[in-house]
A and B are shown apart, each in its own frame.
Chain A
Amino acid sequence: MKEFDPGDSAASIISVTDKVRPVAIPAPVTSVHFLGDRAAFVGAEENVFLASGAGEITPVAVHGGGILCAACDGTRLLLGSDDGKLVSLDAKGEVTPLATDAKRRWIDNVALHPDGAFAWSAGKTAFVRSGKAEEKSFEVPSTVGGLAFAPKGLRLAIAHYNGVTLWFPNMVATAEVLEWAGSHLGVTFSPDNKFLVTAMHEPALHGWRLADTRHMRMTGYPGRVRSMSWSAGGKALATSGADSVIMWPFASKDGPMGKEPAMLAPLSARVSAVACHPRQDILAAGYSDGTILMVRLTDGAEILVRRNGGAQVAGLAWNPKGTLLAYAAEDGDSGLLEL
């Protein structure tokens, strides 16, 4: 029976690795975004690298230090740094300074509102600037861990130790505090504005149903959740932190309360980045061993985008139309895939 071949299980996965256009960023990369159809790879310090479809790389100096946070709406990429500055970058590579912290504190977090308003934080203070309106600030009891704008109205969620503060910068009313013990480091609203979810310092998510502030505990992760992405239409929240993509269901009025999450694309490596396709029920998942998979949400079918063996995947992004996928590995070894 020497002809017997048990088959390579990896070979049974459909692979598109040969269609990926490699983009060799000459520096460590922490995230990737799309400005129109140009991929913007955010370096760990000082530079953003703009890559065109042809794979041409243009470095743009944006900061005089480490780049700590980034937020992108498809036309603007906002970047905060340990040089105390917040800047905006557009697809043409033009850099616009937006704010400088008076005490040169680190700009730890940044968020963008669909109508053009933006928010950032330094230490315990969150700042908001919207349209022609003046800059406003709000101080929370401990250092800001994360910022997110609600999809409707000008409302900012500020994550911190022991909870989240919901602040309406244009209203006199006092801010609402959603309490939950522990350190909250990331925050996101569901696209339907019904739920708020935080990624905690411990390996867990916490959620609130905003109508009645009912709590939702989402636990079981072996590692901290650093990447969250809402599926098209906001039906589910995809998360990193485990050895498979953990998808929490949010389609019903109770969200994930009393429900089990879906576990997709299990590997013997930790999921480090997730990005849901903007229109279809597909997501891209990157792993600690360098693997990248595209996964169909309906049946879990997988397509291999990048083999294992490379550096941990630092970021994934789809262009707004969903025709391009960009990935960035921690060591700069990146790529673009046209679908």
Chain B
Amino acid sequence: MSDPTSPKIPVTVLTGYLGAGKTTLLNRILSENHGKKYAVIVNEFGEIGIDNDLIIGADEEVFEMNNGCVCCTVRGDLVRILDGLMKRKGKFDAIIVETTGLADPAPVAQTFFVDEDVQKNARLDAVVTVADAKWLSDRLKDAPEAKNQIAFADVIVLNKTDLVSKAELDEVEARIRAINPYAKLHRTERCQVALSDVLERGAFDLDRILEIEPEFLQAGDGHDHDHHHHDHGHDHSHDGKSAGGLKHYHDEDMQSLSLRSDKPLDATKFMPWLQNLVASEGQKILRSKGILAFSDDDDRYVFQGVHMMLEGDHQRAWKEGEPRQSRLVFIGRELPEQTIRDGFERCITT
């Protein structure tokens, strides 16, 4: 649960490829009768006007950190703007950052991991990606940015569903699920989505990493299987397996990988392994999350990460009768699956 007394301002990041409907969603959020005031950081003063008192134009400046790590990038403009906005604390309840259609969400998210002052005053709530039901499948083929935005998302608003047939819609959803089975997905026309589905998600709140099950499994047949157990070596889409009524694709270069163990993990082996993994493969790993059961530890340990940056903490005691199962999820590009699986196996106590 998020702490209602927490003075940290929630920040929602709105991404999506050009023309998917980001500004439509933004205007919906702003015009809804929610009694809240938003500060909006936009990068394109587009043709569609935005009706809000506090709009800040940003330059989307991606800065490399001076630590020799090419994926450690932050949004320099956000550091500056959030710093300035904090002088007006009390004038707004939340911040929405709309990125350009070609933006990589990682530097935005990493800004919240890296910058001390940003961390002190604001918290990343969720990355919301608006996708165009008609054109997303094409963009996933020709635009790496679009794929990044889907892979990175906590919430996906699959928009313009009225422009495609049911079969086309299932097709594009299956394509999305091949990349990111964990995001909450909402099918919408003109971004008609409940605001509670896109705001105050707490997706980066360690206390709210409650479940990291693929969403289509929950919604689907409830059959508890790990879809990554079957062969990954093929490079074509296949329709062989059905889950939750959806076709099942594999994306050629962006995948998710889930690991689980019913036996406790050895913290002295796991922590160095995880740190080493993100240090060596962090460029490929876009997002990571985990709930962990360590031997000789009665607390659940939770972690999350963006590329090489990790944060983790003891969350709460395991409940009576709760299965002490460790679960990890990685979403990334060309993940070295077997290496990760083997490394993880070696962290399980015997």
> Is this pair of chains taken from one and the same complex?
yes
Q: Contact residues of A with B, CB < 8 Å?
A: 28, 30, 44-45, 65-68, 82, 105-106, 108, 123-124, 142-143, 145, 161, 181-183, 200-202, 204, 223-224
Instruction: Please count how many residues in chain B sit with their CB below 8 Å of the partner chain's CB atoms.
Output: 24
Q: Are A82 and B88 in contact (CB under 8 A)?
A: yes
**Given A106-B56, A182-B66, A161 and B76 contact (CB-CB distance below 8 Å):** yes
A105 to B81, CA, bound (A): 12
A202 to B81, CA, bound (A): 17
Enumerate chain A residues within 8 angstroms of B91, measured Cβ to Cβ: 45
Contact A124 B59 (CB under 8 A): yes
Which of chain A's residues have a CB closer than 8 A to the CB of B59?
123-124, 142-143
Q: How far is the CA of A121 from the CA of B59 in the complex (A)?
A: 15
Q: Which 9 A-B pairs have the closest CB atoms?
A: A66-B87, A44-B87, A182-B66, A66-B88, A183-B63, A68-B84, A183-B76, A202-B66, A142-B61
* Residues of A with C-beta under 8 A to B79: 183, 201
Beta-carbon contacts under 8 Å, B44-87 to A: 56-57, 59, 61, 63-67, 74, 76-77, 79-81, 84-85, 87
State whether B117 touches A161 (Cβ < 8 A). Answer: no
A297 to chain B, nearest CB (A): 28
Tell me whether B322 is interfacial, beta carbon within 8 Å. Answer: no
Given contacts A105-B57, A143-B59, A201-B79, contact A30 B87 (CB under 8 A): yes
User: Is B239 interfacial (CB 8 A cutoff)?
Assistant: no
Q: By the criterion CB–CB under 8 Å, are B63 and A65 in contact?
A: no
Look across to chain B and name the residue whose beta carbon is closest to the beta carbon of A204: B66
With contacts A105-B57, A143-B61, A161-B61 known, is A82 near B84, CB below 8 A?
A: yes
Instruction: Give the residues in chain A near B231, CB-CB below 8 Å.
Output: none
Minimum CB–CB distance for B122 against chain A, Å: 15
B116, CB-defined interface residue at 8 Å: yes
Q: A123-B59, A181-B64 are in contact. Are A143 and B87 (CB under 8 A)?
A: no
Indicate if the CB atoms of A224 and B64 lie closer than 8 Å.
no
How close is B22's CB to chain A, nearest CB, in angstroms? Answer: 22
In the bound complex, how far is the Cα of B223 from the Cα of A89, in angstroms? 70
Contacts of A223 in B (CB 8 A): 116
Give CA–CA (A37, B123) in the complex, Å: 41
List B contacts of A65 (CB < 8 A): 88
Complex interface: chain A residues within 8 A of B77 (CB): 143
- 27 A-B pairs in the complex with CB atoms less than 8 angstroms apart: A28-B89, A30-B87, A44-B88, A44-B89, A45-B88, A66-B84, A66-B87, A66-B88, A68-B87, A82-B88, A105-B57, A106-B56, A106-B81, A123-B59, A142-B59, A142-B61, A142-B76, A161-B76, A181-B66, A182-B63, A182-B65, A183-B76, A183-B79, A201-B74, A201-B79, A201-B115, A224-B116
Instruction: Given A68-B84, A224-B117, check contact A143 B76 (CB 8 Å).
Output: yes
Instruction: Let me know if B84 and A202 touch, CB within 8 A.
Output: no
Residue numbers in B under 8 Å from A66 (CB-CB): 84-85, 87-88
The answer for the CA separation of A143 and B115 in the assembled complex, in Å, is 18
Q: Which residues of B contact A123 (CB under 8 A)?
A: 59
Select from chain B the residue with minimum beta-carbon distance to A124: B59
Chain A hits for B87, CB < 8 A: 28, 30, 44-45, 66-68, 82
Chain B residues with CB under 8 A of A182: 63-66
Chain B residues whose C-beta falls within 8 Å of the C-beta of A44 in the assembled complex: 87-89
User: What per-residue 1/0 map shows which CB atoms of B286-322 lie under 8 Å from chain A?
Assistant: 0000000000000000000000000000000000000
**In the assembly, what is the distance between CA of A67 and CA of B88, in Å?**
9
Beyond A145-B80, A202-B65: 17 further Cβ-contacts under 8 Å?
A30-B87, A66-B84, A68-B84, A106-B56, A106-B81, A142-B59, A142-B76, A143-B59, A143-B80, A161-B63, A161-B76, A181-B64, A181-B66, A183-B63, A201-B74, A201-B115, A204-B66
Could you tell me if A106 and B84 are in contact, using CB atoms closer than 8 angstroms? yes
Most buried by B among A123, A183, A200: A183
Segment 84-98 of B: residues with Cβ below 8 Å from A: 84-85, 87-89, 91
In the complex, which residues of chain B have a beta carbon less than 8 angstroms from the beta carbon of A28?
87, 89
Q: Which residue of B lies closest to A144 (CB)?
A: B80
Q: Which chain A residue has the least Cβ–Cβ distance from B66? A: A182
Residues of chain A lying within 8 A (CB to CB) of residue B88: 44-45, 65-66, 82
Q: State whether A108 touches B76 (Cβ < 8 A).
A: no
Interface string of B115-159 (1 = CB under 8 A from A): 111000000000000000000000000000000000000000000
A142 to B61, CA, bound (A): 7
Q: How far is the CA of A224 from the CA of B80 in the complex (A)?
A: 13
CB distance from A121 to the nearest CB of B (A): 11
| CB–CB B57/A108 < 8 A | no
- A67, B84: Cα distance in complex, Å: 8
A200→B65 CA distance, assembly (Å): 11
A142 to B91, CA, bound (A): 28
Q: How far is the CB of A103 from chain B (nearest CB, A)?
A: 8
The residue among B61, B80, B87 with the most chain A CB atoms within 10 A of its own CB is B87
Docked pose: A142 CA to B80 CA in angstroms:
12
Question: 1/0 per position for B144-186, CB-CB distance to A under 8 A?
Answer: 0000000000000000000000000000000000000000000
Contacts of A204 in B (CB 8 A): 66
Which residues from B are CB-within-8-Å of A224?
116-117
Residues of A within 8 A of B64 (CB): 181-182
CB distance from A241 to the nearest CB of B (A): 10
Expressed in whole angstroms, the Cα–Cα distance for A28 and B74 within the complex equals 28
Minimum Cβ distance to chain B for residue A175 (Å) = 20
* A123 to B61 Cα, complex, angstroms: 11
What residues of A have a CB within 8 angstroms of the CB of B63 in the complex?
161, 182-183, 201
**Residues in chain B near residue A143, CB distance under 8 A:** 59, 61, 76-77, 80
> A108 near B66 (CB under 8 angstroms)?
no
What residue of chain B has the Cβ atom nearest to residue A180's Cβ? B66
Which chain A positions have C-beta within 8 A of B67? 202
CA distance A201 to B63 in the complex (A): 10
> In whole Å, how far is A43's beta carbon from the nearest beta carbon of chain B?
9
Which residues of chain B are within 8 angstroms of A30 by Cβ–Cβ distance?
A: 87
